[in-house]
Structure 1
């Protein structure tokens, strides 16, 4: 997987998808060579769900929620429940990190193709909390922001786990 934040062309779609792919690839880079023990470790006493595997699984399900549920209007079949809204973080420690990363990458590939087929002004079928039907453009910006923010968390957790740092 190529990791670059420099788009091949300077149109809006290419810039957005390049930055999203860059942040997605950074998730994989942060996990490279990580042990299963470290992937499942929750080193922050006040955040028992803050694990590397949990964050990666969360990002996988965040994309699912925004693309399949919100944008396309499909039924929400995510792992969360009203009783356990963060279940995707909790169940991740039961799955090998390589499997979570593989599922995330396969899903990103499907969404990459889907996004390429839609106009950036395509409205989401399901509204956000305030009733607004955001556009695909807004969703792509949001996914870049959320993935980049969680990459910062991954960076800190990785350094705490085994001292590995990097951009």
Structure 2
């Protein structure tokens, strides 16, 4: 699987830079999952933790869906893997289907890109019900980028434990 991972511009504007950093982090997770079998993607990090690369992919699909579609776009839709709003369900990849997980993740990324691209500015706001506060698209882009960066650190360790591959 060829991963198109392009570094952010060194002199870009705010929106271009935020977009590029987010895409870089998305590509990093894809890179960490590249060339692994379904079994390897479902391999747990270290019991009792249930963390897996496939679980991270599923979780990030939920993150993209929540922040861009539910918060910024105010879409009244459930989570991908839980109709009860249980974010932990995405992490359970014991019987997860690779194609379904990656398709859901890429679908949510496409929606997120469209929502961001169509937004008039980074000052567009949506309501984050869990916080009871309005948030800007700017905050959402930074928050989702940081969420990827944190989980990509987990992905580094997971991948190293699977086949010894290290580095980003």
Regions of 4+ moved over 6 Å: none
Can you give the 5+ residue segments of structure 2 that lack an aligned partner in the other structure? none
1:163 matched residue in structure 2: 164
Aligned length in residues: 164
CA deviation map 1:128-154 (0-9, x unaligned): 41x320100000000000011101101
| TM norm structure 1 | 0.88
Deviations 1:39-69 (A, max 9, x none): 1111311312x01100110001111011111
- For residue 88 of structure 1, report the CA deviation from its aligned partner: 1.3
Q: 1:105 to 1:83 in 2, by over 3 A?
A: closer
2:56 is matched with 55
Deviations 1:95-137 (A, max 9, x none): 33244223312321232122011010001134441x3201000
Q: Cα gap change, 1:8/1:33 in structure 2, threshold over 3 Å: closer, same or farther? A: same
Q: What RMSD, in angstroms, separates the aligned Cα atoms of the two structures?
A: 2.0
Cα gap change, 1:104/1:134 in structure 2, threshold over 3 Å: closer, same or farther?
Answer: same
Structure 1, unmatched stretches of 5+, are none
8 Å CA contact 1:23, 1:147 repeated in 2 = yes
The TM-score with structure 2 as length reference comes to 0.87
